[in-house]
């Protein structure tokens, strides 16, 4: 498939990784100043060729690519990091201190993912290779890192995962939210919280939303999917309301003795009905954050709270 690029600013390009042959599911963000390049998000291993073709189609030679930032180490965001480190031995991979060791040794990450995805692992994510430890750069909360044409500031933003960063671009005012900013499709007024196990923490996520609101970004760049400007308070409100409301709905179902499968069916019916009322297409949302994983994350969260 031909590269699909979205030019956000003079120096920033969103690359549609066309995950599973679908558009507007997973994005990576390229910074290029005509000399050197950096990426926020690598996507999964299965889309690495699409990513590299997109980088070159945006005008950046591969030898210019020096820095790879991952918001967190889930496979749809960082699965290709090891492949890229092998193909481009000059790059450095920047990650949260909790996630960084799992890039160098992904065995526990893969074991955890296999419990969720089973025999679909290869088809969904492709190869996952370790990043050489000496090329993993630990990024701490508040760190400011120079990249081509600007500086990124890291914000520790747990809730979706303990090892999650959002990155603020000082030059453009854009905020790269990973998954803590939710899932939203272009043109839609609907934000879905991706809540997979094992590290969902509703209270921490609400606190992270409050922290990112205060940044007063000029726009939000979501990995799933794209740039949103204007009325960003509405975006955060919609995400937070649904994050909390779905959590309460699952908690009540558990209190009444519903099985996980029953909760998935009921939540799916509720979510689809709401999206249809809003005139929002469901397919890309479902690929980015499935009903099974949404419910499983909440169930594990409430069980841990007992």
- pLDDT for 163 beyond 90: yes
**DSSP states of 174-217:** EEEEETTT-B--TT----B----SS---HHHHHHHHHHHHTT--
Q: In the chain, what are the domains?
A: 4-243 (3.60.15.10)
Would strands 12-16 and 4-7 be described as parallel, antiparallel, or unpaired?
antiparallel
- Return the pLDDT at 282: 74
Percent of the chain scoring above 90 in pLDDT:
86
- As beta bridge partners, residue 32 has 37
Residue 119, classified by CB atoms within 10 Å of its CB into exposed (0-12), middle (13-18) or buried (19+), is exposed
- pLDDT for 1 beyond 90: no
Kindly state the average pLDDT of the residues 137-146: 98
Q: pLDDT tens across 222-265, in order? A: 999 999 998 999 999 999 999 999 999 999 999 999 999 999 99
Residue owning tokens 């893969």: 110
- What DSSP character marks residue 106? T
Residue 107: CB atoms within 10 Å: 10
- pLDDT category at 216 given cuts 50, 70, 90 is very high
Could you give phi then psi for residue 139, rounded to 5 degrees?
Answer: -110, 130
Angle at 93 between CA 193 and CA 216, to 5 degrees: 45
- Return the pLDDT at 12: 98
Q: What's CA 84's distance to the chain center, in Å?
A: 18
* Closest by Cα among 165, 294, 188 to 234: 188
- pLDDT for 306 beyond 80: no
Interacting residues of 207 by C-beta distance below 8 A, sequence separation 6+: 159
- As beta bridge partners, residue 176 has 167, 221
Separation of alpha carbons 106 and 63, rounded Å:
26
Q: Which long-range contacts link 296-299 to residues 24+ away (Cβ below 8 Å)?
A: 296/116, 296/196, 296/197, 296/260, 297/195, 297/196, 297/197, 297/198, 297/200, 298/195, 298/200, 298/246, 298/247, 298/250, 298/251, 299/250, 299/254, 299/260, 299/263
- Return the pLDDT at 183: 97
pTM: 0.96
- pLDDT for 122 beyond 90: no
Separation of alpha carbons 5 and 13, rounded Å:
7
Q: pLDDT tens across 177-196, in order? A: 999 999 999 989 999 999 99
């Amino acid at each position: 498939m031909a590269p699909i690029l979205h030019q956000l600013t003079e120096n920033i390009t969103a690359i549609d990784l066309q995950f599973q042959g679908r558009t507007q599911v997973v994005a990576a963000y390229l910074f290029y100043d005509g000399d050197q390049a950096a990426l926020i998000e690598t996507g999964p291993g299965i889309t690495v060729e699409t990513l590299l073709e997109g980088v070159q189609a945006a005008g950046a030679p591969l030898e210019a690519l020096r820095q790879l930032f991952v918001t967190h180490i889930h496979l749809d965001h960082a699965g290709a990091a090891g492949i890229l480190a092998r193909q481009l031995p000059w790059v450095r991979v920047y990650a949260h201190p909790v996630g960084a060791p799992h890039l160098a040794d992904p065995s526990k990450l893969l074991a955890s993912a296999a419990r969720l995805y089973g025999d679909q692992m290869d088809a969904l994510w492709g190869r996952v290779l370790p990043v050489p430890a000496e090329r993993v750069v630990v990024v701490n909360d508040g760190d400011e890192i120079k990249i081509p044409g600007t500086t990124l500031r890291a914000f520790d933003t747990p809730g979706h995962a303990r090892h999650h960063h959002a990155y603020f671009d000082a030059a453009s005012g854009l905020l790269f939210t990973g998954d803590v900013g939710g899932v939203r499709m272009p043109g839609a007024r609907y934000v879905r919280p991706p809540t997979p196990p094992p590290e969902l923490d509703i209270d921490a996520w609400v606190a992270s939303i409050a922290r990112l609101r205060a940044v007063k970004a000029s726009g939000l760049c979501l990995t799933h999917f794209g740039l949103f400007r204007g009325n960003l308070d509405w975006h955060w409100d919609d995400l937070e309301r649904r994050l909390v409301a779905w959590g309460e709905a699952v908690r009540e179902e558990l209190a009444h003795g519903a099985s996980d499968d029953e909760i998935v069916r009921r939540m799916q019916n509720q979510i689809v009905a709401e999206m249809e009322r809003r005139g929002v297409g469901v397919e890309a949302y479902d690929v980015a954050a499935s009903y099974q994983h949404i419910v499983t994350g909440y169930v594990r969260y409430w069980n841990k709270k007992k």
